[in-house]
A and B are shown apart, each in its own frame.
Chain A
Amino acid sequence: MDIAERRDGDILVLSPSGRIDNDTSPAFQARLLAALTPAAAVLVDFSAIEYISSAGLRALMMGSKQAKAVNGRLAVAALGPVVKEIFEISRFSLVVQVFDTSTEALAALR
């Protein structure tokens, strides 16, 4: 799994690619938590993610908790069809802000 990064104003956009599973979730979690500094706004663009396991979702939950703790903001966007199903199965859209597109997410995070 690679994680591309770019900035859109004050918002850091992380774009992981491939699978976030038992092998790759530690790296994903480490990068996400490092990005969530006080008052940071982070968008995770999922368009290049083909699968996420419970370990990957747990990493997102850790990010969500940290974002609250440091008064930051975290959103995810552009879920592919399989990842969207996994978010539905896990009910994760109830605990993390999910947007259809990165454009919508960026607008909400600004």
Chain B
Amino acid sequence: MLIRFWGSRGSIPTPLGYRAVQNKLRDALLAARGHRLDSLEAINDFLAKELPFSVSGTYGGNSSCVEIEAGGDDYVLCDLGSGVREFGNALIAKHGPAKKSRFNVFLSHTHWDHIMGFPFFTPSYIPGNVIRIHGCHKEMRDVFIRQQSNPCFPIDFRALGATIEFVELEPGRTYDIDGLSVKAIRQNHPSDSYGFRFSKNGKSMVYSTDSEHKFDVLTENYPFVEFFRDADLLIFDAQYSLADQISVKEDWGHSSNMIAVELAQLAHVKHLVMYHHEPVFDDKMIEKVLGETRRYVEINEYPQKLTVSSAYDGLEIVL
């Protein structure tokens, strides 16, 4: 199973401005002083090994979209945020527009940042493609129609060339979809959201974004511990600090890095990927939070090893 991130940012796409690019260049040039960079190989080596990712790269600006390659015939996606535009473009660049494909999409919920990429998803305009949008919200179709209707968008949803189907799933029930075992869980978020657990050939991945975890005491009985149990990969909404999550941003529907670690450790998750990054955070802040979160894992001294990463657009993880 291969997991590929096309959109990692929470709430709204967050492109880099020219000042951010200039700051990265400045930091890179400062760090390059004293290094012998007289070949492309030496430069690539320097970029990979000597610079922090916040300087050599970016955590990215597209809103939620994650691809799962699990060896089936169909493409599998979680959410249709602005990242899906780049996914669609990459697909057409690779195969051309003539190749007809089927897409199974799993929609956490219908908030704008999770659906806004769909009007720009080129395969939806191509007759012969089949797009099945799975989710637990009854109003999915209406929301997609409204998003693509006058005066918000010039091309009506019903004019799209692809066959687009909406498939309502029942939380707690296990489905077999293109060879993937899929189960949904209801999450605490304004108007609800749903997490999905995907399993195949002994590997499992949980996509759990836009989920606020509220509990006085975290115990084994908390339903998400069971849902996350022994997952090889947990993609988790860690948008806020704990202080923000339980004070000024309480009931906004998101969680924190500390809750992520505690839940992942209790559930014996192997790899935690923090996701749905706060749009206010620049790359250096996301990197700082990543370092602090890894330190919290060490402080907790849990017997099972937990790897922690921060999602970025373009990140690929093989399970």
A residues near B, CB below 8 A?
A: 22, 25-26, 29, 51, 53-55, 57-58, 61, 82, 85-86, 88-92, 94-95
Contacts and interface: CB of A to CB of B under 8 A. Distances in A.
A109 B79 CA distance: 50
B218 A54 contact: yes
Name the residue among B246, B293, B299 with the largest chain A CB count within 10 angstroms: B246
Nearest to B301: A51
B247 A88 contact: no
A85 B292 CA distance: 9
A89 B258 contact: yes
Given A22-B217, A55-B217, A55-B218, A90 B247 contact: no
20 contacts: A22-B218, A22-B219, A26-B216, A54-B242, A55-B216, A55-B218, A57-B258, A86-B299, A88-B292, A89-B242, A89-B292, A89-B293, A89-B295, A89-B296, A90-B258, A91-B242, A92-B242, A94-B243, A95-B243, A95-B247
Contact of B259 (A54, A91, A94): A54
B11 interface: no
B288 to A, nearest CB: 10
A54 B216 contact: no
Interface residues of B, number: 21
Interface in B242-259: 242-244, 246-247, 256-259
A62 B172 CA distance: 33
B218 A90 contact: no
Contacts of B86: none
B299 A85 contact: yes
Contacts, number: 58
A54 B258 CA distance: 7
Nearest to A65: B247
B295 A90 contact: no
Nearest to A94: B243
B287 interface: no
Nearest first, the 7 A-B pairs at minimum CB distance are: A91-B241, A90-B242, A91-B243, A89-B292, A54-B258, A22-B217, A95-B243
B254 to A, nearest CB: 14
Name the residue among A53, A55, A85, A92 with the largest chain B CB count within 10 angstroms: A53
Contacts of A29: 216
Nearest to A92: B243
A58 B243 CA distance: 9
B68 to A, nearest CB: 30
Contacts of B257: 89
A54 B255 CA distance: 12
A85 B244 CA distance: 17
Given A22-B217, A89-B293, A53 B262 contact: yes
